[in-house]
Protein backbone atom coordinates (compact mmCIF):
# COMPACT_ATOMS: atom_id res chain seq x y z
CA UNK A 1 0.00 0.00 0.00
CA UNK A 2 1.22 3.51 -0.85
CA UNK A 3 2.78 5.25 2.18
CA UNK A 4 0.71 8.43 1.73
CA UNK A 5 -2.47 6.34 1.57
CA UNK A 6 -1.54 4.66 4.84
CA UNK A 7 -1.00 8.06 6.49
CA UNK A 8 -4.31 9.36 5.12
CA UNK A 9 -6.19 6.36 6.50
CA UNK A 10 -4.60 6.78 9.94
CA UNK A 11 -5.36 10.50 10.00
CA UNK A 12 -8.91 9.88 8.82
CA UNK A 13 -9.48 7.24 11.50
CA UNK A 14 -8.29 9.61 14.24
CA UNK A 15 -10.33 12.60 13.13
CA UNK A 16 -13.53 10.63 12.54
CA UNK A 17 -13.39 8.87 15.88
CA UNK A 18 -12.88 12.24 17.58
CA UNK A 19 -15.31 14.31 15.55
CA UNK A 20 -18.29 12.02 15.64
CA UNK A 21 -18.33 12.05 19.42
CA UNK A 22 -18.41 15.83 19.66
CA UNK A 23 -18.56 18.52 16.99
CA UNK A 24 -18.17 22.15 17.95
CA UNK A 25 -21.62 23.83 17.62
CA UNK A 26 -19.87 26.75 15.93
CA UNK A 27 -19.23 24.50 12.93
CA UNK A 28 -22.92 24.77 12.04
CA UNK A 29 -22.50 28.54 11.72
CA UNK A 30 -20.11 27.94 8.82
CA UNK A 31 -22.81 26.04 6.92
CA UNK A 32 -24.91 27.64 4.19
CA UNK A 33 -27.64 25.76 2.35
CA UNK A 34 -27.70 26.91 -1.26
CA UNK A 35 -30.41 24.53 -2.44
CA UNK A 36 -32.77 22.12 -0.69
CA UNK A 37 -35.42 19.80 -2.10
CA UNK A 38 -37.65 17.11 -0.58
CA UNK A 39 -39.09 14.09 -2.37
CA UNK A 40 -41.52 11.55 -0.94
CA UNK A 41 -42.69 8.19 -2.30
CA UNK A 42 -42.82 7.92 -6.08
CA UNK A 43 -41.91 11.61 -6.41
CA UNK A 44 -38.37 10.25 -6.19
CA UNK A 45 -38.63 9.77 -9.98
CA UNK A 46 -38.35 13.55 -10.20
CA UNK A 47 -34.91 13.36 -8.63
CA UNK A 48 -33.53 10.21 -10.26
CA UNK A 49 -34.96 8.24 -13.13
CA UNK A 50 -32.61 5.27 -13.29
CA UNK A 51 -32.34 4.31 -9.63
CA UNK A 52 -35.70 5.17 -8.10
CA UNK A 53 -37.20 1.69 -8.43
CA UNK A 54 -34.39 0.20 -6.33
CA UNK A 55 -35.08 2.61 -3.47
CA UNK A 56 -38.83 2.05 -3.74
CA UNK A 57 -38.25 -1.70 -3.56
CA UNK A 58 -36.85 -1.11 -0.07
CA UNK A 59 -39.88 0.99 0.91
CA UNK A 60 -38.33 4.44 0.43
CA UNK A 61 -40.16 7.16 2.35
CA UNK A 62 -38.43 10.51 1.90
CA UNK A 63 -35.33 12.13 0.43
CA UNK A 64 -33.91 15.43 1.61
CA UNK A 65 -31.45 16.59 -1.06
CA UNK A 66 -29.18 19.50 -0.19
CA UNK A 67 -26.42 21.49 -1.84
CA UNK A 68 -24.40 23.32 0.78
CA UNK A 69 -21.35 25.47 1.23
CA UNK A 70 -19.35 24.48 4.28
CA UNK A 71 -16.14 26.21 5.27
CA UNK A 72 -15.99 27.68 1.79
CA UNK A 73 -16.34 24.35 -0.04
CA UNK A 74 -19.23 22.77 -1.97
CA UNK A 75 -20.92 19.57 -0.76
CA UNK A 76 -23.94 17.59 -1.92
CA UNK A 77 -25.86 15.81 0.83
CA UNK A 78 -28.60 13.23 0.30
CA UNK A 79 -30.58 12.00 3.29
CA UNK A 80 -32.83 9.01 2.59
CA UNK A 81 -35.42 7.98 5.17
CA UNK A 82 -36.29 4.28 4.94
CA UNK A 83 -38.83 2.15 6.86
CA UNK A 84 -36.32 0.30 9.07
CA UNK A 85 -32.60 0.24 9.89
CA UNK A 86 -32.38 -2.96 7.83
CA UNK A 87 -33.81 -1.21 4.77
CA UNK A 88 -31.46 1.76 5.21
CA UNK A 89 -28.56 -0.65 5.49
CA UNK A 90 -29.80 -2.55 2.43
CA UNK A 91 -29.67 0.53 0.20
CA UNK A 92 -26.32 1.48 1.72
CA UNK A 93 -24.92 -2.02 1.19
CA UNK A 94 -25.70 -1.91 -2.54
CA UNK A 95 -23.85 1.39 -2.95
CA UNK A 96 -20.69 0.61 -0.98
CA UNK A 97 -17.73 -1.19 -2.51
CA UNK A 98 -13.98 -0.72 -2.51
CA UNK A 99 -14.13 1.49 0.58
CA UNK A 100 -10.80 3.23 1.16
CA UNK A 101 -11.73 3.38 4.83
CA UNK A 102 -14.74 1.63 6.40
CA UNK A 103 -16.59 1.57 9.73
CA UNK A 104 -14.31 4.11 11.40
CA UNK A 105 -17.21 5.88 13.13
CA UNK A 106 -19.60 4.56 15.74
CA UNK A 107 -21.80 3.40 12.86
CA UNK A 108 -21.50 1.89 9.40
CA UNK A 109 -19.63 4.19 7.04
CA UNK A 110 -17.66 3.98 3.82
CA UNK A 111 -15.21 6.52 2.41
CA UNK A 112 -14.29 6.57 -1.27
CA UNK A 113 -12.19 9.32 -2.89
CA UNK A 114 -15.11 11.74 -3.40
CA UNK A 115 -17.92 10.39 -1.24
CA UNK A 116 -18.76 9.39 2.30
CA UNK A 117 -21.75 7.10 2.91
CA UNK A 118 -23.21 6.15 6.26
CA UNK A 119 -26.23 4.64 7.99
CA UNK A 120 -27.76 6.16 11.12
CA UNK A 121 -30.82 4.25 12.29
CA UNK A 122 -33.31 4.17 9.43
CA UNK A 123 -31.47 6.91 7.49
CA UNK A 124 -29.00 6.42 4.63
CA UNK A 125 -26.60 9.34 4.11
CA UNK A 126 -24.49 10.26 1.10
CA UNK A 127 -22.09 13.21 1.21
CA UNK A 128 -20.26 14.04 -2.02
CA UNK A 129 -17.26 16.39 -2.20
CA UNK A 130 -15.06 17.72 -5.00
CA UNK A 131 -11.62 16.95 -3.61
CA UNK A 132 -10.11 13.70 -2.32
CA UNK A 133 -7.94 15.34 0.35
CA UNK A 134 -8.39 14.23 3.96
CA UNK A 135 -9.69 17.68 4.89
CA UNK A 136 -12.84 17.12 2.80
CA UNK A 137 -13.48 13.74 4.39
CA UNK A 138 -13.10 15.32 7.82
CA UNK A 139 -15.59 18.02 6.95
CA UNK A 140 -17.99 15.42 5.51
CA UNK A 141 -17.98 13.80 8.95
CA UNK A 142 -18.75 17.18 10.50
CA UNK A 143 -21.70 17.58 8.13
CA UNK A 144 -22.91 14.07 8.94
CA UNK A 145 -22.77 14.91 12.62
CA UNK A 146 -24.73 18.12 12.11
CA UNK A 147 -27.47 16.46 10.05
CA UNK A 148 -27.73 13.28 12.12
CA UNK A 149 -28.07 15.10 15.44
CA UNK A 150 -31.04 13.80 17.38
CA UNK A 151 -31.63 10.74 15.21
CA UNK A 152 -32.41 7.44 16.89
CA UNK A 153 -29.32 5.27 16.42
CA UNK A 154 -30.89 1.82 16.14
CA UNK A 155 -28.66 -0.64 14.32
CA UNK A 156 -29.94 -3.23 11.86
CA UNK A 157 -30.39 -6.70 13.31
CA UNK A 158 -28.02 -9.13 11.58
CA UNK A 159 -28.37 -12.92 11.59
CA UNK A 160 -26.14 -14.43 14.27
CA UNK A 161 -23.96 -16.20 11.69
CA UNK A 162 -22.73 -12.90 10.25
CA UNK A 163 -22.95 -10.63 13.29
CA UNK A 164 -19.19 -10.74 13.94
CA UNK A 165 -18.03 -9.71 10.45
CA UNK A 166 -15.58 -6.79 10.57
CA UNK A 167 -15.66 -4.47 8.76
CA UNK A 168 -19.25 -4.87 7.62
CA UNK A 169 -19.28 -2.16 4.96
CA UNK A 170 -18.43 -3.47 1.53
CA UNK A 171 -18.69 -7.12 2.63
CA UNK A 172 -22.31 -7.61 3.67
CA UNK A 173 -25.44 -7.01 1.59
CA UNK A 174 -29.11 -7.07 2.49
CA UNK A 175 -31.46 -7.85 -0.39
CA UNK A 176 -35.24 -7.93 -0.46
CA UNK A 177 -36.29 -7.82 -4.10
CA UNK A 178 -35.47 -8.55 -7.73
CA UNK A 179 -33.73 -5.26 -8.49
CA UNK A 180 -31.63 -5.51 -5.37
CA UNK A 181 -30.73 -9.07 -6.28
CA UNK A 182 -29.55 -8.03 -9.76
CA UNK A 183 -27.43 -5.26 -8.20
CA UNK A 184 -26.16 -7.08 -5.14
CA UNK A 185 -25.94 -10.79 -5.93
CA UNK A 186 -26.50 -11.36 -9.67
CA UNK A 187 -25.11 -14.88 -9.40
CA UNK A 188 -28.21 -15.90 -7.44
CA UNK A 189 -30.78 -14.55 -9.92
CA UNK A 190 -31.39 -17.86 -11.69
CA UNK A 191 -31.58 -19.73 -8.39
CA UNK A 192 -34.23 -17.38 -6.99
CA UNK A 193 -36.27 -17.18 -10.19
CA UNK A 194 -39.88 -17.62 -9.11
CA UNK A 195 -39.05 -17.12 -5.42
CA UNK A 196 -40.67 -14.07 -3.84
CA UNK A 197 -41.22 -12.33 -0.51
CA UNK A 198 -37.79 -13.05 0.91
CA UNK A 199 -35.09 -11.37 2.96
CA UNK A 200 -31.59 -12.27 1.85
CA UNK A 201 -28.29 -11.55 3.56
CA UNK A 202 -25.10 -12.16 1.59
CA UNK A 203 -21.69 -12.17 3.29
CA UNK A 204 -18.77 -12.02 0.87
CA UNK A 205 -15.70 -14.20 1.26
CA UNK A 206 -16.53 -15.79 4.57
CA UNK A 207 -15.70 -19.28 5.82
CA UNK A 208 -13.56 -21.25 3.33
CA UNK A 209 -13.30 -18.04 1.26
CA UNK A 210 -16.83 -18.65 -0.07
CA UNK A 211 -19.86 -16.37 0.00
CA UNK A 212 -22.55 -17.18 2.55
CA UNK A 213 -26.23 -16.59 1.79
CA UNK A 214 -28.90 -16.54 4.49
CA UNK A 215 -32.42 -16.30 3.10
CA UNK A 216 -35.63 -15.99 5.11
CA UNK A 217 -38.81 -17.07 3.30
CA UNK A 218 -42.48 -16.71 4.15
CA UNK A 219 -43.56 -19.39 1.66
CA UNK A 220 -42.63 -22.89 2.84
CA UNK A 221 -42.98 -24.18 -0.74
CA UNK A 222 -40.17 -21.84 -1.82
CA UNK A 223 -37.99 -23.22 0.95
CA UNK A 224 -38.65 -26.76 -0.25
CA UNK A 225 -37.86 -25.69 -3.81
CA UNK A 226 -34.48 -24.26 -2.81
CA UNK A 227 -33.60 -27.43 -0.91
CA UNK A 228 -34.24 -29.42 -4.05
CA UNK A 229 -32.30 -27.11 -6.37
CA UNK A 230 -29.23 -26.43 -4.22
CA UNK A 231 -26.39 -28.98 -4.13
CA UNK A 232 -26.50 -30.71 -0.75
CA UNK A 233 -22.83 -29.89 -0.19
CA UNK A 234 -23.55 -26.14 -0.36
CA UNK A 235 -26.31 -26.14 2.28
CA UNK A 236 -25.02 -25.13 5.70
CA UNK A 237 -28.25 -25.47 7.66
CA UNK A 238 -32.03 -25.00 7.49
CA UNK A 239 -34.82 -23.86 9.78
CA UNK A 240 -38.57 -23.72 9.22
CA UNK A 241 -38.32 -20.32 7.50
CA UNK A 242 -34.64 -20.04 6.61
CA UNK A 243 -31.92 -21.73 4.58
CA UNK A 244 -28.20 -21.00 4.71
CA UNK A 245 -25.91 -21.97 1.87
CA UNK A 246 -22.49 -21.21 0.42
CA UNK A 247 -21.81 -20.25 -3.17
More confident residue, 98 or 124: 124
pLDDT recorded at residue 230: 95
Q: Is the pTM of this model over 0.75?
A: yes
Domain match, 123 and 44 both: yes
d(CA 114, CA 207): 32
Range of the domain at 99: 3-148
Domain match, 119 and 12 both: yes
- Can you tell me the mean pLDDT for 175-199? 94
Q: Per-residue pLDDT for 50 more than 90?
A: no
Tally of domains in the chain? 2
Residue 163 lies in a domain: no
Domain match, 194 and 144 both: no
Sheet holding 62-70, edge to edge: 31-40, 62-70, 73-81, 123-129, 115-120, 108-112, 101-102
Residue 165 lies in a domain: no
Residue 29 lies in a domain: yes
CATH code (residue 33): 3.40.1000
Domain match, 124 and 17 both: yes
Domain match, 218 and 135 both: no
Residue 48 lies in a domain: yes
23-26, Cβ contacts within 8 angstroms, sequence gap of 24 or more = 23/142, 23/145, 23/146
- Of the pLDDT bands very low, low, confident and very high (cuts 50, 70, 90), residue 7 is very low
Residue 46 lies in a domain: yes
Residue 162 lies in a domain: no
Quote the percentage of the chain above a pLDDT of 90. Answer: 74
Amino acid sequence: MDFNLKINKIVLLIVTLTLFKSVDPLFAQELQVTRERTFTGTALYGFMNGGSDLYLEYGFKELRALEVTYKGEQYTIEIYKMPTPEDAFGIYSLHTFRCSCADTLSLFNCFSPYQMQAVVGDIYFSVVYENSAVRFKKEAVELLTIYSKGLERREPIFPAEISTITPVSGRLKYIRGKLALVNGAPGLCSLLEGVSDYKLWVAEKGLNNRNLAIIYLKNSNHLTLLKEILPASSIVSCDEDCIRFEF
